[in-house]
Amino acid sequence: MKLSYRKAVNGDANLLIEIYNSSFYDDYVRYGECPAYGKTKEEMELSIKKYTKYIILSDEIPVGVISFDKKENGQYYLGCLCVIPPYQGKGIGTQAFQYMCSVCLDWKQITLVTPADKEQNIKFYTKKCGFSVANKVMDGSVEVVNFYLNR
């Protein structure tokens, strides 16, 4: 499986919506809400303008997205790392995170948030990517874990 990455542009809005909806449908059903699920085309176009997004391609097939926001002084926020269900568990997310680090050469700290009861996500970010848990807080009706990774 050969992975490549393509920076998302406005014309990718519908494709990104499909990937996000496929990846986050279970979260939407589980929690009754999910900020990455059900975006309109206009919302996704605004997100493309605000955040750096790369489409993850496996043998030229779009299978996921990694999206991040550069803050200041080498601070980055990993807003979305998703892989559609048929491609999960194949190391794609780990490679995509490594790709992000190779693109963001000046990173000093990367932060992210994930639901506290998503043990698979917590294990992925701590064991595969090296993140540490900062704290747990409520975000609406969902308890979330804040993570950080320092260089």
Per-residue pLDDT reduced to its tens digit, 121-143: 999 999 999 999 999 999 888 89
Quote the tokens at residue 69: 């926001």
Architecture per CATH, domain 3-150, reads as 3-Layer(aba) Sandwich (3.40)
- Return the domain boundaries, the chain: 3-150
Which amino acid is residue 47, in one-letter code? S
Q: Measured between alpha carbons, how far is 27 from 68 in angstroms, rounded to an integer? A: 20
Identify the pLDDT of residue 148.
98
Cβ(39)–Cβ(66) below 8 Å: no
Q: Confidence band (pLDDT; 50, 70, 90) for 29? A: confident
Q: Measured between alpha carbons, how far is 131 from 107 in angstroms, rounded to an integer? A: 14
**Proportion of the chain in helix, strand, coil states, percent, rounded to 5:** 40, 35, 25
pTM for the model stands at 0.93
Q: Measured between alpha carbons, how far is 91 from 79 in angstroms, rounded to an integer? A: 19
Cβ(77)–Cβ(61) below 8 Å: no
The tens digit of pLDDT for each residue in 41-79 reads 999 999 999 999 999 999 999 999 999 999 999 999 999
